[in-house]
Structure 1
Amino acid sequence: MSTLTTPTKSQMLLFQAWRATALQIMPYMASTLFALRPVATTEVDTFAVDDGMRLYINFDKCAEMGPQFGAEGLLHECSHLLAEHSMLAEVAGVTDEERKMWNIAGDMAINDDLRDAGCSALAAHGVFAAQIGQPDYQTPMTYMEALRRKMAAKPKQPQSGQGKPGKGQQGQGQGQQGQPTDQSGAPMKGCGSGAGSDKGGFELGNDDMQGKAPAASGAEKQMVRISTAASVRQHQEQHGIGSVPGGIAQIVDEILAPSVTPWERVLASYIRRAVAHKLGQHDTTYARRHRRRMNETLRNKQGGIVGRVIAPGYIKPVPSVHFYRDTSGSVNDHDLALATNEVLAIAKKLGIRGDDLVVSDIDTEVHQSKKFAGLDSITEIQGRGGTEMGEAIVHATNLKKKPSVIVIATDGETYWPTERPSVPVVVLLVNLRSEHWKENVPSWAHVVEVKSND
């Protein structure tokens, strides 16, 4: 059984010293650093954090590694919380078996920013995208897909008693589960459920250690994120845009993005995160050459041509959304109009239409499916029978080309499948009439409420 204790006086002095050093590296992280609830345990390798902002610390191990490591460890866990990697794992449909792999993907997505901010100890031992042949500054989903591909291509290890893999059989920087490792070759342990990793047996859950380690509420976590985002903006104003790593600046832009109503920002954020690429980002590919660098040559000191530069071109990944309108008899015309307006908002927010934004009507079965081409293309309604929104999920997951995310606009008066689907789901509750139906939505779906302004 795990032993969790409140840090001793000497341990708290260590924690406070690490926090002070962390503030010197990234002063704008103050709100998140001071919101952490430290818990002492030997069940973690170094640090781990849960979804209630409780920080589990192996003080003996961390103290041996020095104050710089301790400070950077705090900033690493804070970055997982700021980026909401726990929520993003749910939105992205990460299975329980993939949790450790997701943790690695999240580590890669934040470690490059931490290195750029001056985390020298982390730069020496941390997990980086280069270990799996990927570029820096990508999203967790980009790295997750790369890890999945590596796992799919990796030959199965022999079962116990069937021999051991020979030296060099595992790739450099890869553990027995296909995960990057530290320099000792041992698989890295997870950062806890706050990073979207496995919920370790050491985590407190609903327990608060007799009031000494209460979990942060949803409202508290949101206030900490907003406060941290505001500090980042202030730091940028005083020291310039480049004074904050780009990944953190992007997260802050999402947190502080102006919107007319809260649901719009949340919905757009869920969709952008689910498809792994934020608006304005581009990837490079050698399948398409860079049009402005097609004729570049390499020359020697005498001016002779010794080769040509093949520069990659740019591609812009585009999200695909399948939007299902609940057209059952319990949904009135006003609420249907609200749902239709949400299609327009998604199209405008993400800049998509046609094959990338398909709208289907559903009651107990899916009726027409239309490619969005403006409001006129989706004004006709079909259905008006009973209600079974689970059919929307069955329909979407059976499509030959699965969407990046499923959005279901409904009054909520329906039942849902119990198993998590393979595609992320956002449930848009339109003018909800009973909290019972909100509570009835499975935990694997993300809920956004849309209410009339009338």
Structure 2
Amino acid sequence: MAGRERRADAARALDRTKLLAARLKAAGAQPYLASALYSLTVVPSHDVPTMGVDRHWRCYVNPGFVDGTPVHELAAVWVHEVAHLLRDHHGRSALVAPEMRHDHHRVNIAQDCEINDDISSLPSNALRPAMFGLPDGQMFEQYLPGIPATPHHPECGSGAHGRSMPWEISDAARVSPVEAAAIRRQTADDMRNHARSRGRIPAGWRRWADEILEPTVDWRRALTGAVREAASWASGAVDYTYSRPSRRGAAVPRVVFPSLRRPMPRVAVVVDTSGSMGGDELRAVLGEVAGVLRAVGIGRNRVTVLACDADVHEVRRVNTVGDVVLAGGGGTDMRVGIDQALRAQERPHIIIVLTDGYTPWPDGRPGNVRVIAGVVGEGAEPPPSWIETVAIPLDQTSAHG
């Protein structure tokens, strides 16, 4: 009997009239989403469980799901799927800490929680923050630590969690990243105009539109850019070495020419473990720094981490910075950690300081070493101008802890 039902499902044709009527209903109820909804390309698929999207704005639809779902609920699912793309969930999922990112179902659940608290007509089994004892109105990165490992298995496709799924194809119409950015901005403009002329829009969409139209700098990308630029600068500091003679020496017998050496940058990470810094935030930011160093190709034994308050408590050369013991809890003086890093037998090319900023700083640049400060939270005096500073909002650290 079950095999017969599966064969019947596979033979079922997509009821496009019903599906497109649901999209029309969604666009009528939330006209500011119309441009985005009509940018989706419909792809019938018996392999997708319900509906899902890929990162190219193709919407995969199971015909059996359409047949068994009322139009008003289908309209809500349309809004749900396009929300994954508008909110750039696949791009944001790439920035999640690796230990969480590998469980794409867990990421998908957190993303559904971010979306669904703004949608009232979804099916009764739709995932919502309250199911996990979490409050409404947060971002999926904030929900993620509170989501157990894969208690359910939603599957919204690579347009949500970033992992390509078997039913996704490559030969259908696609929306380019440039076009997607234009759709997002147009949608945000439409939301703002709708709010001015007709009334309220859901809080989550209002916050999203504000971020699109008045963006804040993503500190992870800013930190990656700063480290990448510093690493490139350090790698350019070539020097001559006789440990590997130059191939030019073959032309001149009995004369040894040195070759040029391009060093792999050494990095010291000085972590503020004073009483004013929260341990959860520190571990979260350390996890992000680990990802940054991997992204720019600095690894193995090239990283030293120093835990420091008013003194240095822990110095460790590590393969990754994720398991560092954060000892300390007293006063704050990052000069001590920077000085300790500079006195190492192998002097670093780059020093990354993670602090809340309530610390004295060295009087000047420490020689031929780049210093990058990741300042967590607000309120402290900015570091000196010779330090490259990346602001790390406090409310964006706990989601990665």
TM range (shorter): 0.5 to 0.7
Question: Which of 22, 33, 40 is the equivalent residue of 1:36?
Answer: 40
Query: Which residue is 1:238 aligned to?
Result: 197
Query: Which residue is 1:127 aligned to?
Result: 127
- Give CA deviations for 1:186-231 in whole Å, capped at 9, x if unaligned: x433100101154211111xx21xxxx2221110110110111111
Q: CA, structure 1 residues 376+25, in 2 after alignment: closer, same or farther (shift >3 Å)? A: same
Q: CA, structure 1 residues 379+223, in 2 after alignment: closer, same or farther (shift >3 Å)? A: farther
Paired residues, number: 260
Question: Which of 46, 68, 71 is the equivalent residue of 2:72?
Answer: 68
Query: Which residue is 1:270 aligned to?
Result: 218
| Structure 2 counterpart of 1:245, one-letter code | P
Question: Which of 4, 7, 15 is the equivalent residue of 2:19?
Answer: 15
Q: Secondary structure of the equivalent of 2:52?
A: strand
| Unmatched 5+ stretches in structure 1 | 152-176, 180-186, 258-264, 275-319, 332-353, 386-391, 393-407, 410-422, 425-454
Q: Does 1:202 align with 2:167?
A: yes
Question: Which of 49, 66, 71 is the equivalent residue of 2:53?
Answer: 49
Q: Secondary structure of the equivalent of 1:328?
A: helix
Query: Which residue is 2:110 aligned to?
Result: 105
Question: Which of 234, 238, 256 is the equivalent residue of 1:328?
Answer: 234
Q: Secondary structure of the equivalent of 1:113?
A: coil
Shift of 1:125: 2.5
State the distance in 2 between where 1:69 and 1:126 align: 11
Q: Is the 8 A contact 1:51 1:194 kept in 2?
A: yes
Q: Is the 8 A contact 2:348 2:369 kept in 1?
A: no
Q: Is the 8 A contact 1:368 1:382 kept in 2?
A: no
Question: Which of 310, 324, 348 is the equivalent residue of 1:365?
Answer: 348
Q: Is the 8 A contact 1:80 1:106 kept in 2?
A: yes
| Structure 2 counterpart of 1:32, one-letter code | A
State how 1:389-404 maps to structure 2 within 5 Å: none
Q: Is the 8 A contact 1:190 1:198 kept in 2?
A: no
State how 1:150-169 maps to structure 2 within 5 Å: 150-151=148-149
TM-score calculated relative to the size of structure 2: 0.56
Q: Is the 8 A contact 2:109 2:154 kept in 1?
A: no
State the distance in 2 between where 1:200 and 1:40 align: 15
Query: Which residue is 1:190 aligned to?
Result: 155
State the distance in 2 between where 1:30 and 1:378 align: 56
State how 1:233-382 maps to structure 2 within 5 Å: 233-240=192-199, 243-257=200-214, 265=215, 268-271=216-219, 324=227, 326=230, 328=234, 330=236, 365-368=348-351, 372=357, 380-382=365-367
CA RMSD in angstroms, aligned pairs only: 4.1
Q: Is the 8 A contact 2:108 2:154 kept in 1?
A: no
Shift of 1:373: 6.8
State the distance in 1 between where 2:117 and 2:66 align: 21
Q: Is the 8 A contact 2:37 2:78 kept in 1?
A: yes
Shift of 1:59: 1.9
| Structure 2 counterpart of 1:221, one-letter code | A
Q: Is the 8 A contact 1:191 1:197 kept in 2?
A: no
Query: Which residue is 2:287 aligned to?
Result: none
Query: Which residue is 1:137 aligned to?
Result: 137
| Structure 1 counterpart of 2:219, one-letter code | I
State the distance in 2 between where 1:107 and 1:139 align: 10
Q: Is the 8 A contact 1:47 1:191 kept in 2?
A: yes
Q: Percent sequence identity over matched residues?
A: 25
Question: Which of 77, 81, 86 is the equivalent residue of 1:77?
Answer: 81
State the distance in 1 between where 2:221 and 2:87 align: 11
* Max Rg structure: 2
State the distance in 2 between where 1:101 and 1:226 align: 28
Query: Which residue is 1:146 aligned to?
Result: 146
TM-score calculated relative to the size of structure 1: 0.50
Q: Secondary structure of the equivalent of 1:191?
A: coil
Q: Does 1:222 align with 2:170?
A: no
Q: Secondary structure of the equivalent of 1:35?
A: coil
Shift of 1:323: 6.2
Q: Is the 8 A contact 2:40 2:57 kept in 1?
A: yes
